[in-house]
Amino acid sequence: MAWHKVETQNLQYLRGHEGQTKLRASTYGNIKRAVAAARLLGQTNVKCGKILPSTYRGSARNRVQNYREAMATVQTFGKPSLFITFTANAKWKSCYDACLATQPACDVHSRDDLLARVFKLMMDELMCDLLDRHVLGRVDAYMYVIEFQQRGYPHAHMLLILAKKDRPVTGQDIDELVTAELPVDPVRDDFPSTSPGQRAFDLAMSETARLRAIVCETMVHRDCRRVTKRKNKCCDNAKGTCEEGYPKAFLSETQWSPQLMYPMYRRRKPSEGGMTVVRPTCRVPR
């Protein structure tokens, strides 16, 4: 609510006489008269009211400026290397801790403000991993946009342009950055036979189980052909197929070349070392 009040005051100032004078709105007089004449003749439905600066987020000029900056970035540094989606999760432990700390304790789904704050902290840590720690390679340029889903959960769509030496050029390079398979259990022979090695192996097993549960809960496409309670946007009921192409075909290795827009990720069969899972039995541990 405080943020909404600040934005409202800023907008009122920009639309007022002092704000329009500082923006030199009078220089747009010819455009306003031309648009008004075209509206009288029924040639356009465009409204030309108050002039807003390109720095005001959400305005038409701001969107056009962001688009042009994005196109100039791609023209300068090359096409993006990675597309990353980062979504808020109400099952984050930090969200539950924040809700339990309130008086009285509340539910995560009723406190979108706490979820947004935790998402901001998580987002800052992710950007630190990508830009400062270079966990995926050195980044030459990046751009992202934050959106809010229907339930109020924020998520970010991000494009990364990696340095030339860190850009993936083969299927093996992609496998080091992206995986479309379930986490595989660690091999006991990779750990020492001592007692600390056994503890490290047990810790790796528990972490793999936790990651597998998260992937099963949030990253596995449902069998949309079996869902009959509601209409599915991705399922063609006439053909009985999924418009998103699921289930994907098994591949022993990732297939990609610079001429292709999207790679075909490695999805190995169980006989080739892949793993299967029954999604209803997967639950993310809290």
Q: Give the number of other CB atoms < 10 A from CB of residue 182.
A: 19
Inter-residue contact 156 to 146 (CB < 8 Å): yes
Please say whether the beta carbons of 57 and 64 come within 8 A. no
pLDDT (0 to 100) of residue 199: 93
pLDDT digits (tens, 9 = 90+) for 253-279: 998 877 777 889 999 988 888 877 665
Query: What pLDDT is attached to residue 159?
Result: 95
- Is the pLDDT assigned to residue 280 strictly greater than 60? no
Is residue 178 within 8 A of residue 265, CB to CB? The reply is yes
CA angle 231, 227, 152 (to 5 degrees): 65
Short-list 192, 190, 226, 195, CA closest to 208:
190
Tell me the per-residue pLDDT of 7-35, one tens digit each, with 9 for 90 and over: 899 888 888 888 888 888 777 777 778 88
69-79 exposure pattern, b = at least 16 Cβ within 10 A, e = fewer: eeeebeeebee
The average confidence (pLDDT) of the chain is: 84
State how far Cα 272 lies from the chain centre.
31
pLDDT at 286: 40
Where in 106-264 does DSSP place strands (E)? 139-148, 154-162, 235-236, 241-242
